[in-house]
Chain A
C-alpha cells in the first residue's frame, strides 16, 4: 500500500523518501526501545522476588550455621546466652491463624451467601462496599483498637466465663486455663479473624458470581430450597475458588504484623492455654529487630522472616493456582 502511495505521491520522491525512511526508522527504534523498557520492568518484578529470597537467605546464614535445622525445633529464645529457636514463634503463627480461620471462614461464607442470595438488591452494593472498606483499614488500627478496646472487654466479660465454663471438662480446661490477661494468642486470633473476613468474603462473592444462573434456576425449578441450592449446586461448583479465597486469607493472617504485635504479649514460649501470651514470627521481628544487638540475634530474626516468607509463599502460591483453575473454568 505504501509503495503505491509513494508512486502516486504528490511529493518529490528523493527528498521525502529519505525523510519517510528516517521516520520509519525512528518508529522502529522507538518501538524496540519501549518494548525493551517495559520488558525490563516486568523482569524487575521477578528480580525483586529473587532479591528478597537471596537477601533473607544471606542475612540468616549465621543463624543457620550456628543452630542448623535445630533452629526450627528449639524452644529457647535467649538473647543473653545467644540461644535462639523458632518453634514458639512458628507455633504462635500457626495457632493464631488457625483460630482466625476457624471463625473467619464460616462467617465469610455466611456473608457471601447473604450478599449473593438473600440481601435485597438495593442494600447489596452498600453492604458489599462496607465490607470491602473493612479490608482497607490499616492493620495498626486493628492493633490499637484490639489493645485498648477489645482486650479489656474480653478480659472482664468473656475470658472468666470461658475459664469457668470449661473448668470441669478435661483437655478443654487445659486449653482455656487462666488467668485472664486479656491479651494473648486467642485475642490475636480473634482480631485476625475480623481482619481476614473482608478478603475471604470478597473473593467468595466473586466466585459465587461465576456460577451460571441456569444451574441455580434448574435447581430451584425442581423445588430445592435456597440452602439446598447453595449446598448442592453453588458451593460444589465453586469449591476450588472458595479454597483459593480461604488460602489467600490464610496467607494474610500468617504474615499479619501490627494487629498481632499489639495484643499477642510477646512471650517466646509454648503454652497449653490459648489465653496465655505468646508470639508470632512477625510480632517477634517487629518487637525485637531494632533492639537486637549482636549478629546472631539479628540473624535469627531474619531467619524467622525467611521461614515466614517460605510458609506464606507456599500458601499464596497454592491459593493462586486454585483461583486460576476457577478462572479457566469460568472462561470456558
Chain B
C-alpha cells in the first residue's frame, strides 16, 4: 500500500494543478467571450466528455482484439487528446474558441506545435518506434507526438475551414 503512495500523491498533484489551471483559464476566458460563446463552450465540454465515454466503451468491448496493437497507456493518452480535440473543434465550429484578440498568435503557435510534433512523429516512424516484434504497437511513449500532431492538425483544419466560411459568408 505504502509503495504506491508517491504515485498517488503525484497523481493528486496533477489533478489539483489541472483544476487550478481550468479555473484560471475559465476566469480569464470569460472576459473575452460573450454569453453565446460561453454557452457553446460548455456544450463543447459536454461533447468532449461524451466522445471520451463512447471511445472508452468501444475500447472496453474490443479491448481483447485491440490489445495486440494498443497498450493501456495509449488508451489513456488517446482519451486525453480526444477530449482536447473534440472540445476545440466543437468550440471553433460555434466561433467560441479563439478569442478575437489572440486568434492570430494562437494559430501561429498551434501551427508551430503541429509542425514540430509532425516532424518528431515522422522521425519516430522512420526509426521503427511504432513497431514491436515487427508489428504495429502503440504506447503512450511512442504515440504521443503523432497524437499531438493529429489533434492539432484537425484543430488547424477546422480553423482554416471556419475562417474561409466566415470570409465567404455574406452578411444578411
Partners in one complex: no
Q: Which residues of A contact B (CB under 8 A)?
A: none
